[in-house]
Amino acid sequence: MTATADFPQQRIMTEKHPPVLEVEKLQISFRGDDSSTTVVEDVSFTVGRGEVVGIVGESGSGKSVTSYGIMGVLPPNAEVTASKMFFAGAHDLVRLPSKKRRRLQGKEISMVFQEPLTSLNPLMSVGKQIAEPLRYHEKLSRKEAKRRTVEALRSVGIPRAEQTYSSYPHELSGGMRQRIMIAIALVCEPQLLIADEPTTALDVSVEAQILRLMKKLRRTTGTSILLITHDLGVIAEMADRVVVMYAGQVVEEAEVYELFREPRHPYTKALMASTPKIEEVRDELESIPGAVPTPSKMPTGCRFAARCPKAMEICSERPPEVELGSGAKTRCWLYAEQETGS
């Protein structure tokens, strides 16, 4: 799984999918005691039917918060606004009343969380936890729900599914727990799966299994996947299209082949340069000098400027989002000329 080598050429997709998710100008802030901090701002992207869209970015860039916003599981002090956040073209996720939203959660949109060790209820058998969405959304009988649960356990590659059904989370390894999380997310066959760093906490061989599993699922059920990671290797292996986030904003979006062949934004370039070709160091993004600005000290201009080798004077002004054709976009002054030229 190296970042730049061996990704299949046929990934270049020109065919347009009808979008499962359309996000436009998403903004998420957290209300504090006396002030409010905006941690996600002006985030826009779409996920087509059957498409795998990757979101990459350093720690703290707002990947998880964005996905919680889509999923509708932000804490009560969060404020979400967007000019558009549509699911399957029909449901406005920003304004959806909570009762209707619950009908989508776990059924049409589901999520695998970043923390496999703490995301399962310690007092409930994993079988019951997988069966829960079936019982509530599909109103299945206990028996039927159990049958489907055991099936789901098998499909995520868990040996002795019947036995595992009545296990408790603390009896299972991290990899097993992550499979359980995936089984919960997939048991109702959702249209959109959000996977937030599904493999970060796992070792490399388990990671490979989980990724293979997700690929298979996408192939067999046509589920769209929003895959969040800070591992470009995972992106190269899995994604059709990539959204690069920096300090709460999307700084670049491109098809995966194009992104690796011709990264535009200096941040994307730095990301690639700092990714080791052989997977040894896991925290590979640390090596970009400087640090992500904190939400309270966010510069008004380009947020990457302080760390950018190509920073110019104009970068202290808010950079434009430049359309580069074939769906690629970047938020950088370097390309502002091209837009007016094209």
Partner 1 sequence: MLYRIATSYWARYALQIIPVLLIITFVIFFLVYIAGDPVGQRLGDNASPQQIADLREAMGLNRPFHVQYGEYMWNLVRGDFGESYMYGRDAMPIVLDRLPNTFLLGGAAMLISIAMAVPLGVLSATHKNSVLDVVVSGLAVVGKAIPNFWLGIMLILVLSVSLGLFPVSGSGSWAHLVLPAITLSGGVTAELTRVIRSNMLEVLNQDYIRTARSKGLPHQVVLYRHAFRNCLVPCITLLALTTPLVISSAIITESVFAWPGIGQLLVNAVTAADMAIVQAVVFVTALLIIAFNLAADILNKVIDPRIRFE
Ligand X SMILES: Nc1ncnc2c1ncn2[C@@H]1O[C@H](COP(=O)(O)OP(=O)(O)OP(=O)(O)O)[C@@H](O)[C@H]1O
Give the interface with ligand X as residue ranges (CB under 6 A). 30, 39, 57, 59-65, 75, 114, 230, 295
Name every residue whose Cβ is closer than 8 Å to that of residue 207 and which is 6 or more positions away in sequence: 199, 234
Q: Which of ligand X, partner 1, Mg ion, none interacts with 110 (beta carbon under 5 to 8 A by kind)? A: partner 1
Name every residue whose Cβ is closer than 8 Å to that of residue 4 and which is 6 or more positions away in sequence: 236, 260, 272, 277
**CA 324 – CA 342 distance, rounded (Å):** 9
In the list 34, 97, 122, 309, the residue contacting partner 1 (rule: CB under 8 A) is 122
Q: Which is nearer to partner 1, 30 or 136 (CB)?
A: 136
Least distance to ligand X from the beta carbon of 142, Å?
36
**CA 96 – CA 121 distance, rounded (Å):** 27
Other Cβ atoms closer than 10 A to 91: 17
Least distance to ligand X from the beta carbon of 120, Å?
19
Residue 257 Cα distances to 29, 223, 239, 268, 274, angstroms: 33, 21, 9, 14, 18
If one asks whether residue 181 binds partner 1 (CB under 8 A), the answer comes out as yes
Q: Which of Mg ion, ligand X, partner 1, none interacts with 166 (beta carbon under 5 to 8 A by kind)? A: none
Write out the DSSP string of 257-279. HHHHHS--SHHHHHHHHTS-SSS
In the list 4, 36, 118, 220, the residue contacting partner 1 (rule: CB under 8 A) is 118
Q: Which is nearer to partner 1, 104 or 302 (CB)?
A: 104
Write out the DSSP string of 143-171. HHHHHHHHHHHHHTT-SSHHHHHT--GGG
If one asks whether residue 101 binds partner 1 (CB under 8 A), the answer comes out as yes
Least distance to Mg ion from the beta carbon of 147, Å?
35
In the list 42, 115, 279, 323, the residue contacting partner 1 (rule: CB under 8 A) is 115
For partner 1, the binding residues (CB under 8 A) are 68, 71-73, 98, 101-107, 110-111, 113, 115, 118-124, 129, 132-133, 136-137, 168, 170, 181, 184
